[in-house]
Structure 1
Amino acid sequence: MARTTRRAPASPAVRRAARTALALAAVVAAALTTVAPPAAAAAPGTAVSSVAPAPRAARNPVIFVHGYNADPGVWGRMTGDFKAAGYTDAELFTWSYDTHASVNEVLSGRFAAYVDEVRQRTGARRVDIVAHSYGSLPTRWYLKNGGGTAAVGHWVSLGGPNHGTGLAWLCAAWDQACRDMTPGSYVQKGLAAGDETPGDVKYATFWSSCDEFINPHDSVPLTGAVNTPAGCLKHNELLTDGGVSADVRAFLGR
């Protein structure tokens, strides 16, 4: 039969030391479960800031409106410039419409509905508008007579027949849009009456001394708008010129 060896009981001093060691171990374990992990070390020479970067100021979505006998495809170059400058697809929209319909009776109301759709989709309180040529007229009518000043922040006209163009007489006999673009038409008189740039909307126009479709050239500028000569550009070159595109973006940023 094996002999059992009994250990002598520990002295009171040894028992006290053991209890102290166990208590210290418990404190250390608790501390390790509550202390956050250390922040990643910064690169040499880089200051670590605890201040979060300021969010980018919200900007309005932009609606591009093409001109007579055109379609949204004409905006490819300019929307590309906007994207290169930081805009996203979710901020850029193009409105397609029948360019032979009446400005005041048809198009301005349809455009108002599209603005409401864009605002609902984006959650924006206001939109910005960039219009080329004939697209300037239904968007202006919306601003002046359709309550649009409450929903628009900036409005830009590129080569718009804002006071009519004599060239429209060539097709006025059979086309309503041409009739609306003729000098002295019902639409032109309605847009020119009173304030040409109503509300707190910021207005801008760009016109060219070589525009072959707007006659006279000074039909484009509006009283109360930032009116910018674009040099000698053809009517459709206002859509693709890099300088005009940059100036438009700068204006929308004001």
Structure 2
Amino acid sequence: MKLPWKRALKLLPVLLLMAALTTAPAVADDSTARTTSGWNNFSCKPSADHPRPVVLVHGTFGNSVDNWLGLAPYLVKRDYCVFSLDYGQLPGVPLFHGLGPIEDSARQLSAYVDRVLSATGAAEADLVGHSQGGMMPRHYLKFLGGADKVHALIGLAPDNHGTTLNGLTRLLDLFPGAEDAIDGMAPGLADQIAGSDFLRELNEGGDTVPGVSYTVIATKYDEVVTPYASQYLSGPGVRNVLLQDLCSVDFSEHLAIGLFDRLAFHETANALDPDHATPTTCFNA
């Protein structure tokens, strides 16, 4: 059955926005998707060298496994206790998460961090997030007491100030009711549009909270979180990194920076253990 053309036209920006914010590939077999290698081991005890567990926070349309098939083993190999959660699930939508209201997702993160700290005996955790997963934890830090439980937040291409999707979100004004449709179908998408009520509240009064170290790792080829400089944070304890300043021939875009970019992984390790950081160059790839 074909949609009436007026209804199809109304849904067009919704579909475009959902496609543009996709951050993880589809997985055909759910049992395969749930398989991890060396992480999400709740019997893991942090070492003296790496005393804080690392919690990985996936992006929009991601999940606790697919988003981290590169970075999680990379960190496990370096003797970190690594964990990852699913958040922002919608009823009847398997594997593709990060779509629910971001305030609710932040509460899920809060409960998960508590679980990790209880299991590991650590006083604090470090958070590493991709895309929405690098921005959403800031709500947890600012409004849900997370600053007392988190030492560092590292964002890989985080949409800290929302996104214009290279101007695509401005098209929503041309389609009456489109923004309400997005909010109804997947409120986590609407929350990420530059200028949303959620982002205004999140960034009001400053980007950071005391006591937390922040690192943003960005690429100038990001086609999802635009403009890419909107990812940057300002305030005490912030380090903003552009991959192309470290290696001009790194052409990673939004997906690659979280999935398999070795320079981004190396910078993440540096941010987790700055006392033993080593220079990131093209040769780290």
Displacement, 1:195? 2.4
3-state DSSP of counterpart to 2:159: coil
Structure number with greater CO (CA < 8 Å, separation at least 6) is 2
1:70 aligns with 2:83: no
Contact conserved, 2:134 with 2:153, CA < 8 A, in 1? no
Deviations 1:47-99 (A, max 9, x none): xxxxxxxx834521000011001112220111121122233xxx100011121
Contact conserved, 2:157 with 2:254, CA < 8 A, in 1? yes
Equivalent-residue separation in structure 1 for 2:130 and 2:229 (angstroms) = 16
* Pairing partner for 1:190 from 172, 184, 201: 201
* Pairing partner for 2:72 from 68, 79, 91: 79
Structure number with greater Rg is 1
The residue type paired with residue 94 of structure 1 is: S
Give runs of ≥4 in structure 1 deviating > 4 Å. none
3-state DSSP of counterpart to 2:191: helix
Equivalent-residue separation in structure 1 for 2:84 and 2:72 (angstroms) = 10
Equivalent-residue separation in structure 2 for 1:237 and 1:116 (angstroms) = 30
Instruction: Provide the residue aligned with 2:128 in structure 1.
Output: 130
Equivalent-residue separation in structure 1 for 2:76 and 2:194 (angstroms) = 37
Instruction: Provide the residue aligned with 2:256 in structure 1.
Output: 237
Q: How many residues align?
A: 196
Contact conserved, 1:210 with 1:234, CA < 8 A, in 2? yes
Instruction: Provide the residue aligned with 2:175 in structure 1.
Output: none
Normalized against structure 2, the TM-score is what?
0.65
3-state DSSP of counterpart to 1:109: helix
Deviations 1:148-180 (A, max 9, x none): 100001101111111110137368432211110
Q: Trace 1:24-173 onto structure 2 (pairs within 5 A).
A: 56-72=48-64, 73-87=66-80, 91-97=81-87, 98=89, 99-104=98-103, 106-167=104-165, 169=169, 172=179, 173=181
Normalized against structure 1, the TM-score is what?
0.73
Equivalent-residue separation in structure 1 for 2:59 and 2:85 (angstroms) = 10
Deviations 1:161-212 (A, max 9, x none): 1111013736843221111001111111112111211021100001111011
3-state DSSP of counterpart to 1:205: strand
Long gaps (5+) in structure 1: 1-54
